[in-house]
Amino acid sequence: MDAEGVIGGPVRGERIADVVARRLAQAILSGQLPPGSRLREETLASNFSVSRTPIREALIVLAASGLAHLEPNRGATVLQLTADDVAEVYHLRAVLESESAALASRRITPEVAGLLVKICDRMGELRAAPAAEQLAADTNFHYTIAEASGSPRLVALIRQVSAIPGDVTDPAHRAALARAVEAAGGLDLLVNNAGTLGASPLPALADYPVDELRTAFEVNVIAPVALTQLLLRPLRVRGGAVLNITSDAAVEAYTGWGGYGAAKAALEQASNVLAAEEQTVRVWWADPGDLRTEMHQRAFPGEDISDRPLPSEVAPGFLRLVSERLPSGRYRAAELLS
């Protein structure tokens, strides 16, 4: 299927490339543009009543987001998305928008509050309208709250969050992330959060399968160090930061946690050395504490971990590292939230 006849109408207001990218992304995520659809520059320029330059910029954004495959001088093709890809995008949006709502609640003006009421009323009127109209109103509502937060960086993150699926231990995936950074025009923050628990149930170190131990170090240490090496140059240019997610298992002796703990300890020391070597880039290694995650459940199979907080509950602590640009070093989410 081609994009012709699916997406149309002139673009007015906002930055043209951003609006085109957002509308195309919405069409892809909603299934209006299924996998394999051709996104031709000339057709899209005609449909949106714009030149081909903002269309090219929008397609670069889609490619960096993992939504399309870019073909130089030809356009792009919509890629196949999994349920996990879409879920990751919405999870990240939820974390960022929770923070923007908290900031907006303290900074919002009566005029903006009135505008939000009008948008809500409009959304109520659109209950029977086409999905595209409802989505546009919903997007307007969320972006208005983000703008009210008073944080330009947070607004930019919310507008640009997208998923690039892959395995961080795969050099090809790391290269794809680097290309996405180049396409986006730079990098302000690298968060190394991908990881593996290792063997489960957790064995004693004396019985730890060597292959599982090797995998734990490959995923939890080698991959984030390799990705950081790849992205240090754009981080230096922007005076950015690296946030490595660690664990108290890196500094405490917990029975059964030898493999995972040793890998996280290595990551912490690598972070410590990088912080000493880098003059313009902040390097943080942060312990989120026990969380209600699939990984934590695997560490305690059959146990009820519902009393642990969700990741979104500690995320504001990590956002504080960015917003206040705290010194390089080791942090605990509990301390950042206090």
Which of these is catalytic: 143, 208, 260, 331? 260
Is residue 208 annotated as a catalytic residue, yes or no?
no
Q: Name the pairing type of β-strands 68-71 and 75-78.
A: antiparallel
| Rounded CA separation 92/50 (Å) | 31
| Rounded CA separation 270/283 (Å) | 10
| Beta strands, E only, the chain | 38-39, 68-71, 75-78, 189-192, 241-245, 282-287, 329-332
- Cβ within 8 Å of residue 165, ≥6 positions away: 66, 82, 84, 85, 88
CB 126 within 8 A of CB 115: no
Listed residue (47, 49, 3, 50) closest to 25, CA to CA? 3
Listed residue (147, 99, 92, 91) closest to 119, CA to CA? 147
Count Cα neighbours of 295 within 13 Å in the Cβ-side half-sphere: 14
CB 230 within 8 A of CB 174: yes
Residues taking part in catalysis? 260
